[in-house]
Structure 1
Amino acid sequence: MSLESKVTEEIQTALENNDTHAAALITRMYLKDLDSIPLNIAVTGESGSGKSTFVNAFRGIDHEDERAAPTDVVESTMEPEAYPHPIYPNVTVWDLPGIGTTKFPAHQYLKHVDFEKFDFFIIVSSDRFRENDAKLAQEIMKMGKTFYFVRAKIDSNLLSAEKSQKKKYDKEKTLQKIKENCIQGLEEQGVTAPQVFLVSNFDLHLYDFPTLQETMERDLPSHKRDTLILALPNISQSIIKKKKELRTSLEPVTL
């Protein structure tokens, strides 16, 4: 039984016993727990891939905000940088040094960044995924962690394709070709059935981010999933609805 189901059952039992005080207390404790359950998301990729912009977008932070990850400097950090969510500080998005910028091979890289603390990894690229990305994914898989490939800067690619192809330009075919090329390249480097999501860091509601969001929710245990839902940026009515349903489902009702 999931934690959410267990809590809902306890609330229902309290209501059946006409103990609305207990039901309200259980609800408050669970919602308080959601605000304290740690969720650590690791974002990695080569310098210039758009990972810092993705970190900010995921947190709903503008790049000019003082809490934002810097996006206009050459990457030089050799250590993970923590960026807490502005509303839910228990949710932290980590900007990891790109594996290509370190002296560590993939298996040592994960130990260097303390991979155990991360709930899942997002590997970002602005063009094709390279050998280092594939090796890192394979090491993450060996260690039993979940990872996703995010192909960023899709809006720039579409703009370039539209200008170069003119009347022959087909947006959906261009998107499909980009995804197929990414998947094919990763498979050629030994990654089995890679999950690739096309994302615009400036318009998260477009392209594959909603699918990425749903996939992350499905892969996380229930209590972590609820924490993720609360922390997601309000980029769609679907996310807003899920947040409302999550809190409403735990509100005690009078029998």
Structure 2
Amino acid sequence: MKTALLQITSSDDPVANLNMVRGIVAEAAAQGARFILTPEVTNCVSNSTTQQREVLQHEEDDITLAGLREQAAGLGIWLLIGSLGIKTHDADGRFANRSFLIDPKGGIVARYDKIHMFDVQVTETETFRESANYRPGTQAVVADTEFGRIGLTVCYDVRFPHLHAALAQAGATILTVPAAFSPVTGAAHWESLLRARAIETGCWVLAPGQTGTHPTTRGKVRHTHGHSLVVAPWGEVLIDAGTEPGIHIFDLDDKSVTEARRKVPSLTHVRPFDGP
């Protein structure tokens, strides 16, 4: 399956972002990609709660979801919308950070709400409290396609190997890790974590990322790491996208999964144990 990671720089304007992403998706499809992946918060990168409350929408009204579903059907492609910031009907008013897998007819095959919230202080001046505005999901998700079973994750989930192990044990051969990674933690940990998840599970790890300085109308300017990665099941980095926006195409195959798991069948060696 010819596959494309899209590395983009979303602003805090969903309308502008949709126009930008649709153009890049069309270009990737014209280059032969039949499975295309976008990064985390494709529709809106913002540190402003006020801006998010004004521009984010409920799933049934979301223009990005509707526009990209229509485009996937028109192009006849599989599309992973890495995630969208989505309003919920929760009493506390928090959003969902929701990933969508779209089939070539434009149908929603799977939804996944990011489970692990990025609540960290990476430097004296760089603090994130994702859980203040986003509520965590509770359900791990796999989805079947003709080119493999996909396990969906988002960004900070990459630090939790038990989630990825559970997805692989449920039959996933491809793990998706769309991200808007911090430049500080990205430089230190991004590649190491993604390679580890591939090696531990014998899965393809596909990690499309946001990159650069994000145009902002309100609040603090956001910067992201870039370096979208494709990691093969044996742990080799096949693509490192660097820091410029762009399209990165490669061939996805299940033979690599079979071979890696034949060499080191660690998923079959899992044993129960008593706690320390």
TM-score (norm 2): 0.32
- Structure with the bigger percentage of strand: 2
Higher RCO, 1 or 2 (CA under 8 Å, sep at least 6)? 1
TM-score (norm 1): 0.34
**Structure number, greater radius of gyration:** 1
